[in-house]
Structure 1
Amino acid sequence: MSSPEHKKLIWELIKPIKVGMLVTKTTEDSGGMRGRPMSLVQDAYDGTLFFYTSKSDAKAFEIVNDTDVCLTFSNPKDNVYVSLTGKGCVTQNKELIDRYWNPWVAAWFENGKDDPDLAMLEIKISKGEHWDSKNNTLVQIFELAKATIKPATTPNLGKHEKFGKE
């Protein structure tokens, strides 16, 4: 888990990105992984992320079958990358559905909040890491070149931090 300050930092990194890739283990015999884009709907982060879905969608079945999930957020323009790992569950909690309902979500669910197939994914984050480099590409190239010339030098490409249980 992370501190309230760290949760605030994670939210500041992922909120402007808005869409993350949710990775689940497929229910196919091959046992592969599958990622798909999911849009943030909440206005704060306390260690849990919520996403709308159809309970009949493959990702819902995959999460019921194996609760381990990974979420990744990427903003290459600003050199921000976040990877979050946690446990997912599928819920039809009306209070949650009402709390985060908005016109964007309504566009995906034509039968509205009362759609019997409407559900939410609740992802409780347990660990992750983030990379945040304010350096532009030219500075990063310089840092890499410097490290190549001086092998004992580690390039300073920005901030990288892990958190949570390993």
Structure 2
Amino acid sequence: MTRVLLIGALLAAVFWVFSIVDCALQPPIRHRGVSKPVWIIIVVVFPVVGGILWFAVGRARASALAARRAPDDDPEFLDRLGSTSDQDERIRRLEEELALLDAEDDDPRWRRPVPPPAASQSTAPGDPADKPADRPGDGDDDARDQRGAAGA
């Protein structure tokens, strides 16, 4: 009978130490119910019962924790997205709406103002106002139509 009690005490002590070590080494995201320090206190103060509670209630299983994935790797996320035909339909509708908006360009506020017609001046033939100013030095603009930059 003494041997059975010694073996039971030895198994309880091994279980107790294993529970403390397991509780201390698990990352905080794997602790359910209360925080990590509280679980360690429960396992230390109540040796066998605390260990049983830790493994039954406090320790979250690895399979219960979903592995974090990028959205394009997550099949559930991809299923929630619309199918390709839904996206194609939406794009087609948006393009039609844009075409209608382009066709409705009747609002005068969005038109470019029309420059007033140039006043015709009567000049005598051979007057310097008759010559086009397209070469540098002929007038105030250079070849790039930049005023005052002739020869630069």
Q: Rg: which structure is higher?
A: 2
Name the one with the larger helix percent.
2
Higher RCO (CA-CA < 8 Å; seq separation 6+): 1
TM-score, normalized by the shorter chain, greater than 0.5: no
User: Which protein is richer in strand relative to its size?
Assistant: 1
Please state which band the TM-score falls in when normalised by the shorter chain. Answer: under 0.3
User: What TM-score, normalized by structure 2, do the two folds share?
Assistant: 0.17
